[in-house]
Structure 1
Amino acid sequence: MKNKPYVNIEIANNMGMITFYHPAHNSLPGNLLNELAELIIEAGQNDAVKVIVLKSAGNRVFCAGANFQELLAINTIDEGRQFFSGFAKVINACRKCPKFIIARVQGKAVGGGVGLAAAVDYCMATQYASIKLSELNIGIGPFVVGPAVERKVGLSGMSQLAINADTFQSAQWAKEKGLYTDIFDTTEELDDAIVELSLKLAKYNPKAMQLLKSTFWKGTEHWDELLNERANTSGSLILMDYSKKVLINSK
């Protein structure tokens, strides 16, 4: 099980802990993205879950974004759209979930990983959780995750990440921009803080939290269509010769 990709959920004390893992730096192929979206939807409908925590296994990498091997296998626009729709499904699942979602970002987040951190309602991290939007390096752009990232860090911060695609920004930078709410020196301190907050939230009125969340996400009602259009854009760009050459050379 150690090196086998998975997504699972553990429910205890009204907290639904959703964990994903992939041996390639927690990158996310299409099947894991679909499973992740489905688990978020199911947890949102489960009366035993009052608050959701999204995390990855491992130490210093939260999520490396798209899985390069799967990107290399894309040969048609439809295949490209389907792959990038995976990130769209997860973001929209987080957006429409009636329960607060807390992200545990224990390490680096790249590309789609930044999108996941931006799609939750409250994001807590360690000092090692630097971020990078690297999509421009492979000939595409952060089109699918862009709306979620921009919503959290603003257009200026998102454009800085998107343009300076080779450079990691520190966890402190991400906190100052509003992506992270808190930064901790160790994973143990991070975990303690997440449990403490989750137990508090589990005691609050679920309807009040649902209505509060809907106010936070007001103005995003069109994201189902928007992110689907963005998936088409990325799916088309990944087929271009530039992107194929970069992906081949990165093997």
Structure 2
Amino acid sequence: MEQLHYIKTDIESDIATIEFFHPKSNSFPSTQLNELIRIFDELGANDKVKIIILKSAGDKVFSAGASFDELLTIDEFEKGKKFFMGFANVILAMRRCPKFIVGCITGKIVGGGVGLTAACDYALAESNSAARLSELSIGIGPFVIEPAITRKIGITAFSEMTMNPTEWKSPEWLKEKGIFNHVYPTIEECEKASLDFAKNLSVYSLDAMRDLKSIFWQGTDHLPELMKSRAEMSGRLVLSDFTKETLMKFKSN
């Protein structure tokens, strides 16, 4: 029997851990993205939480991005725009959350998963955490997640990823460019380091950390409107003959 997807939260000693899971490579259907938004907003307002750790279950894929099954159901522009705003709204929730978000990245990351990682304030990964932005290969692009990624790695490295959509970028490359802060040999070491780092941060002033986070995201007040226009790009392209034909090939394989 296939395990049901979930998002669960645990709070212990000022540290909240969010763990998500989906049997299809930790991809996100819209319902799960909406739940993640609610949790970030809730934890942001919780005075008992000073630091948030974001992680996924399993060891192969941290996140494959948006749900491919849901992508296949898009048959009109407004539905497409709403679908692509999913990860945009999660990134915006991470941006407005006043608590530091520490990413514990175990396994490969694709598409929206890269955006989620880049939106973390600090990211620790393990040695199998390669990444790629595969959207161009199906006739769209990583439009809504681009601002979060470019904010960390710059437009040159972003274009390198987008123009090579089938190429995996190594954890070392991702660390060099600025998506990862540290890379550890094993999942166990990565998880321990993430918790230790969160514990070290949790003794500091929440007010000071909140002000620091506002500096990390300075110059991004335009993101809500920008992401809407980017979602419209994807909403149009996903209805193109090229994308429809490519998606049908994937579905039949």
Partner of 1:241: 241
- TM-superposition CA deviations, 1:79-98 (whole Å, max 9, x none): 11111111011000111110
C-alpha displacement of 1:49: 0.8
Distance 1:109 1:97 in 2: 23
TM-score, scaled relative to structure 2: 0.97
Q: State the SS of the aligned residue for 2:154.
A: helix
- TM-superposition CA deviations, 1:117-147 (whole Å, max 9, x none): 0011001100100010000011000101111
Q: State the SS of the aligned residue for 2:123.
A: strand
Partner of 1:65: 65
Aligned residues: CA RMSD:
1.0
Partner of 1:149: 149
C-alpha displacement of 1:232: 1.2
Distance 2:14 2:2 in 1: 27
1:134 aligns with 2:134: yes
Partner of 2:82: 82
Q: What amino acid does structure 2 have at the position aligned with 1:150?
A: T
Query: Are residues 2 and 185 of structure 1, via their aligned partners in 2, closer, same or farther at CA, if it must alter by over 3 Å?
Result: farther
Q: What amino acid does structure 2 have at the position aligned with 1:74?
A: I
Distance 2:204 2:2 in 1: 36
Query: Are residues 2 and 69 of structure 1, via their aligned partners in 2, closer, same or farther at CA, if it must alter by over 3 Å?
Result: closer
Unaligned runs of 5+ in 2: none
Q: What amino acid does structure 2 have at the position aligned with 1:50?
A: K
Identity among equivalent pairs (%): 47
Q: How does 1:101-180 map to 2 (within 5 A)?
A: 101-180=101-180
Partner of 2:4: 4
C-alpha displacement of 1:114: 0.4
1:14 aligns with 2:14: yes
Distance 2:6 2:82 in 1: 20
Partner of 1:53: 53
Q: State the SS of the aligned residue for 1:235.
A: helix
Partner of 2:30: 30
The number of aligned residues is 251
Q: What amino acid does structure 1 have at the position aligned with 2:17?
A: M
Distance 1:2 1:250 in 2: 21
Distance 2:58 2:2 in 1: 10
Partner of 2:231: 231
Distance 1:229 1:29 in 2: 21
C-alpha displacement of 1:2: 6.7
- TM-superposition CA deviations, 1:148-188 (whole Å, max 9, x none): 11111111000000000010000000000010000000111
Distance 1:223 1:123 in 2: 22
- TM-superposition CA deviations, 1:25-67 (whole Å, max 9, x none): 0111111111111111111111111100111111120000121
